[in-house]
Amino acid sequence: MSKWTRRETLKAGASAAALAAMGGVIPRAALAAKQFDGAITIGSIEPLTGIGAALGAPNYIGKLIAIDEINAKGGIAVGGKNFQIKLISEDDQTSPDQGVPLFRKLAEKDKCLIITGTQYSRVTESMWGLLQKKLDDKSDPGLQVPSMSFLSMKAGVAGISPWSFRNAGNEPEQHETTLSVVEKKYGPYKVYGGAVEANEAHSVAAWRAAYLPALKRRNVEPAAYVEWYETDRDFSVQIRKLKRANLDLFVLSSHFQANVGALLEAKRQGFKPKTIISHIGADAIEMVQLGGDAVEGIVFPAAVHQSMSLVQPLAVEYKKRTKEKYMPQFTGLGYEGMYILKHAMETAGIKNTPESLQEDRRKVRDVLAGLKNYKSFAGMTLNMNENRDIVRPTYLVKIDKGDFRMWWDQEKGFLF
Amino acid sequence: MSDYLIDLLQTSIDGLLFGSTYALVAIGFTVIWGLLRILNLAHGQTVMVGMFAGMVCSTIFKLPIIVGFVAAMAAACVVGIIVDRVCYRPLRNAHELVPMIATLGFWIFLEEAFIKIYFYTWFRGYMDFPNPYTFVGYDVGPIRLRLDYLITLAVSAALVAVLYLIVYRTRFGLAMRMVAESHDIGYLMGVPVRRILTGTFLLASAYGGAAGFLIGMASNLASPQAGTLAVVKGLFAMILGGSGSIVGAIVGGMTLGVLELTGAYVVSFAYRDAIAMIILFAVLIVRPQGIAGKATIERV
C-alpha cells in the first residue's frame, strides 16, 4: 500500500467532512483493506469552489464513485498485477491563476500518470497551455502528460496539445441538433436572437463557433443580441431589448448563474419567446431551485441523462452521497471518464515504476488517441476523433414542471 | 413618446432605484474613510456576511423578512467589530497603508472561508434568497416600478435619515465629527476615541449588512463573492460622489446605478463598465473632490 501524502489526507478529511455534513454516506469501498501491488497516481483538478463549482463538484463526485468501484473490484490490472488508483485532488477555484500551478504540480511533483480535468474551459485552456504542442518535438519543453477533461465545452479546446483529450461532446454538433429538433417541433421561427455571457470563454465560444454558424446555415441574422456577465444582478436592459425585438427563438449562451437572473427578469417584463434553448451551463439544479417557473421549457443538450436505465444506479449513488435531487450530466461524464482511463491504462501495458513514468504516460496517450468502439457504462459506443474529442450522441433535456426531463433521443425521438 | 425614450426612461429609473443599494455600500466606506482616513477594503465582506445571514434566516429558517434584515445588520456588525479589533486597532500607529493592507487580507480570508462554507454545507456556489416581491410592480403610465426596488430605495432612504439623525443630533454623532477632525483633539476634549471608532465600525458595518440583505433579495440569490462586487461598486460610488461625504455616497451610488444601466442601453453592454469609468475620470478631472465633496486646500 503506498504512502498517503499529507495533502491527500487533508483532501480525504475535507471530502469526508463534506459528505458527513450533507448526511451522505462516506465511501467505504475505497478504504477497505485490500491487497494491491502498488498504486497508480492520477491527478484531479476541478472547480470545487468558485463560479464553476456547479459543474466541477458533480463531476468530481462522479470520479470518486468510479474510483471507489474500480478499487473495490481490484483496481487497475496490468501485467498480472493489481494497482489501486490513488487520486490527488486539487481545487482550481475556477481560476486560471490557481489551475496552472496546480497542473504543473500534479505533473512534476506528484508525478501523476494522468491528469483529469479541469472542467471550466477558461481554466482548462490555460492549464493545457503548459503541454507540449507537437508530439516528439524535442525543442518543445512543454509537459508530456496525458490530460483529459470531462467537460470544458469550448470549441477547439482539446486541440491545444496532442496530450489533451476531452470527453464531453461536440458542442457545434449539439447546438445544430438542438436547433433542428426545436425547429421541427415548434418551428418555423421568424425572429431569432441571443444572449451571451461575455466574460465566460465557453459561452462566447458556443455563440461564435456553434450558434452563429448554425444560424448562418439557415440564412438567419440574429434580430437582437445582448451580452451580460455571469456575476450580473440586473438584466432589465438586456431583456427589454430582446423583448422589443419580438423574438420567437431565444438562444441563451450562458450558465445558470446569469440564466436565472435573466429569466426572472424576462418573466417580470413579460418576455416570453416561443422557445428558449441553452447550452450545458443550464444543467444545474440551481436553475429550477433559483429560477422556479421562470425557467420552464428551456431545452439544452446533454451527453448522458439520469433517466437512462444504465445510468440510474450511478444517479442513485450520486443522490445518496450528495442528498441532491438531480444528477447533472457532469457526474456521468466524470464517472465514465475514469472508466475510459482505466481501459487506457490496462490496454497500454504500463509498467508503473518511477523509471517508466514518461514511457507509461506516452503509452496511455497513444491508447487514448486511438480509442475506438469503447462501450460506455451508459450503453453508447464512443470513439476518439482526430481532434482528440470523444464523439458521442446528443440528447436533449427540457426543464418541465420543475424537473430536468429527457425530451429527445436520436433513436426514440420525442419522449414527451 | 417613442419606444426608445420610454425604455431610456425606464432604464434610468431602474438604475436610480437599484443604485440606492450602491449608495448604502458607499456610506459604509465613506464613514470609515471620513473618520480614519483608511480604505476599509473588508467593508465588502459586511455586505457578503449580511447577505449570508439574511439568506440563512429566509431560506433555511423561513423567518420573516424583517428578522432576516435585522440579522443581516447584526451579523455585519460582528464583522465590523472583528475588522476594528484585528485590522485597525493593533495597527493604528502604523503607516496608513498597513491597516488598509490588513483589511485586504481580511477580505480575501473571509471570502475564501465563505466559499468553502457554501460548498461544504450546501454543495453549492450560490444559494436561493427568496424575494416575495420578485414579480410585483406598479405601472405608472408606460413605466413599471419594481416593488423590490422601491422597497430598496425606501429602506435606503430611511437608513440615510437615521444616519443623519445619529451624526447631527446625538452626542455620539458629535463625538464622531470631532474625531473626524482630529483624533488628538478628541482625546484632549475627553472624547473616548477608541469607543467612538468601534461604534463607527459598527455603524458602517450595519449599513453594509443592510445593503447585503437588499442586494441579495433583489437579485434572488446569495453568493460568497458578493463582497468583491460590493467593494468595486462601493468604492466607485464613494469616489464619484465625494470621499468622506454622506451626501456624496448617496449621489455617487445612484449616479453609478443610472450610468451602468443607461450606458448599457444607449451604447452597449460591452462598454458598460468602461463608460462608467470614463465618466468617473471626467468628473475627477473637473471636480477632484467628487460630485458632492468639498474642496480642501492644504497650505504648506
**CA B48/CA A93 separation, integer angstroms:** 18
pLDDT, residue A34, reads 61
Contact partners, residue B111, CB within 8 Å, separation at least 6: B45, B48, B224, B225, B227, B228
User: Is B266 part of the contact surface with chain A (CB cutoff 8 Å)?
Assistant: no
Closest-CA residue of chain A to B264 = A237
Question: What does the block give as the cell for B60?
Answer: 433555511
B134 and A268 within 8 Å at the Cβ level: the answer is yes
Alpha helices in chain B (DSSP H): 3-36, 43-55, 65-83, 97-122, 147-169, 171-181, 183-188, 193-219, 226-241, 246-266, 272-286
CA-closest candidate to residue A311, choices A294, A324, A297, A327: A327
Which residues in B lie closer than 8 A to residue A52 (C-beta atoms)? 125
**CA A230/CA A122 separation, integer angstroms:** 14
What ipTM score was computed for the predicted complex, to two decimals?
A: 0.83
How close, in Å, is residue A86 to chain B by CA atoms?
22
Determine how many CB atoms are found less than 10 A away from the CB of residue A82: 16
φ/ψ region of B62 (left if φ > 0, alpha if ψ in -120 to 50, else beta) reads left
Which residues in A lie closer than 8 A to residue B146 (C-beta atoms)? 268
> What is the band of A174 on the pLDDT scale with cuts at 50, 70, 90?
very high
What are phi and psi for residue A314, nearest 5 degrees? -65, -45
CA-closest candidate to residue A280, choices A250, A312, A254: A254
**Strands of the sheet with A390-391, listed across from one edge:** A374-375, A381-384, A390-391
How close, in Å, is residue A232 to chain B by CA atoms?
9
pLDDT, residue A4, reads 42
A48 and B119 within 8 Å at the Cβ level: the answer is yes
User: Is B270 part of the contact surface with chain A (CB cutoff 8 Å)?
Assistant: yes
Give the Å distances, CA to CA, from B83 to A256, B30, B48, B198.
Answer: 34, 16, 14, 10
pLDDT, residue B200, reads 92
What does the pLDDT average to over A299-312?
96
Look at residue B106 and tell me whether its pLDDT is greater than 90.
yes
How close, in Å, is residue A165 to chain B by CA atoms?
27
Which residues in A lie closer than 8 A to residue B264 (C-beta atoms)? 237-238
Mapped onto helix, strand or coil, the DSSP state of residue B138 is: strand
What are phi and psi for residue B205, nearest 5 degrees? -70, -40
Look at residue A122 and tell me whether its pLDDT is greater than 90.
no
How close, in Å, is residue A274 to chain B by CA atoms?
21
Work out the percent of chain B whose per-residue pLDDT is above 70: 98
B120 and A53 within 8 Å at the Cβ level: the answer is no
CA-closest candidate to residue A165, choices A329, A333, A394: A333
Q: What average pLDDT does the structure give for chain B?
A: 90
What does the pLDDT average to over B222-248?
91
How close, in Å, is residue B31 to chain A by CA atoms?
26
pLDDT, residue A3, reads 43
Q: Helix B272-286 to helix B226-241 angle, to the nearest 10 degrees? A: 30
Look at residue A378 and tell me whether its pLDDT is greater than 90.
yes
Dihedral of the alpha carbons of B263, B268, B273, B275, in degrees to the nearest 10: -50
**CA A403/CA A289 separation, integer angstroms:** 10
Look at residue A22 and tell me whether its pLDDT is greater than 90.
no
Asked if B76 contacts B46 with a C-beta cutoff of 8 angstroms, the reply is yes
Range with the poorest average pLDDT among A32-36, A296-300, A333-337: A32-36
Mapped onto helix, strand or coil, the DSSP state of residue A2 is: coil
What are phi and psi for residue A369, nearest 5 degrees? -60, -30
Work out the percent of chain A whose per-residue pLDDT is above 70: 92
User: Is B123 part of the contact surface with chain A (CB cutoff 8 Å)?
Assistant: yes
pLDDT, residue A20, reads 41
**CA B272/CA A378 separation, integer angstroms:** 45
How close, in Å, is residue A49 to chain B by CA atoms?
6
Q: Which residue is associated with the grid cell 497603508?
A: B97
Q: Which residue is associated with the grid cell 481490484?
A: A74
Chain A contacts to B (CB-CB under 8 A): 14, 17-18, 21-22, 48-54, 57, 93, 198, 226-228, 231, 233-234, 236-238, 240-241, 244, 257, 260-261, 264, 267-269, 286, 289-290, 322-324
Asked if A261 contacts A236 with a C-beta cutoff of 8 angstroms, the reply is no
Question: What are the tens digits of pLDDT across the range A203-261?
Answer: 998 999 999 999 999 999 999 999 998 888 889 999 999 999 999 999 999 999 899 99
Work out the percent of chain A whose per-residue pLDDT is above 90: 76
**CA A223/CA A201 separation, integer angstroms:** 23
Question: What are the tens digits of pLDDT across the range B214-232?
Answer: 999 998 889 898 999 899 9
pLDDT, residue B203, reads 94
Mutate which of B9, B123, B139 to disrupt the A interface (most A C-beta within 10 Å)?
A: B123
Which residues in B lie closer than 8 A to residue A227 (C-beta atoms)? 268-270
Look at residue B29 and tell me whether its pLDDT is greater than 70.
yes
Least CB–CB distance from A233: residue in B121, B128, B219: B219
Cβ pairs A/B, distance under 8 A: 94
Range with the poorest average pLDDT among A52-66, B120-134, B204-218: B120-134
Chain B from 10 to 69: CB within 8 A of any A CB: 10-11, 14, 18
What does the pLDDT average to over A188-211?
91
> What is the band of A263 on the pLDDT scale with cuts at 50, 70, 90?
very high
Look at residue A194 and tell me whether its pLDDT is greater than 60.
yes
Mapped onto helix, strand or coil, the DSSP state of residue B171 is: helix
Closest-CA residue of chain A to B6 = A240
Question: What are the tens digits of pLDDT across the range B30-76?
Answer: 988 887 778 899 999 999 999 999 999 998 999 999 999 999 999 99
Look at residue B100 and tell me whether its pLDDT is greater than 70.
yes
pLDDT, residue A156, reads 83
**CA B34/CA B68 separation, integer angstroms:** 29
Which residues in A lie closer than 8 A to residue B7 (C-beta atoms)? 240-241, 244
**CA A5/CA A2 separation, integer angstroms:** 9
Range with the poorest average pLDDT among A27-36, A172-181, B262-271, B282-291: A27-36
Asked if A99 contacts A130 with a C-beta cutoff of 8 angstroms, the reply is no
Q: Helix B43-55 to helix B65-83 angle, to the nearest 10 degrees? A: 150
Least CB–CB distance from A324: residue in B123, B128, B229: B123
How close, in Å, is residue B70 to chain A by CA atoms?
23
A51 and B125 within 8 Å at the Cβ level: the answer is yes
pLDDT, residue A53, reads 83
The full length of chain A comes to: 416
Closest-CA residue of chain B to A321 = B123
pLDDT, residue A31, reads 45
How many helices (H) and strands (E) chain A has is answered by 13, 17
CA-closest candidate to residue A26, choices A38, A18, A35: A18
Mapped onto helix, strand or coil, the DSSP state of residue B263 is: helix
pLDDT, residue B84, reads 93
Closest-CA residue of chain A to B227 = A231
> What is the band of B296 on the pLDDT scale with cuts at 50, 70, 90?
low
A198 and B18 within 8 Å at the Cβ level: the answer is no
Sign of the torsion angle spanned by Cα atoms B143, B149, B151, B154? negative
A286 and B124 within 8 Å at the Cβ level: the answer is yes
User: Is B221 part of the contact surface with chain A (CB cutoff 8 Å)?
Assistant: yes
Closest-CA residue of chain B to A270 = B135
Mutate which of B18, B47, B120 to disrupt the A interface (most A C-beta within 10 Å)?
A: B120
What are phi and psi for residue A251, nearest 5 degrees? -95, 120
pLDDT, residue B255, reads 94
Mean pLDDT is highest, among A22-31, A47-56, A179-188, for: A179-188
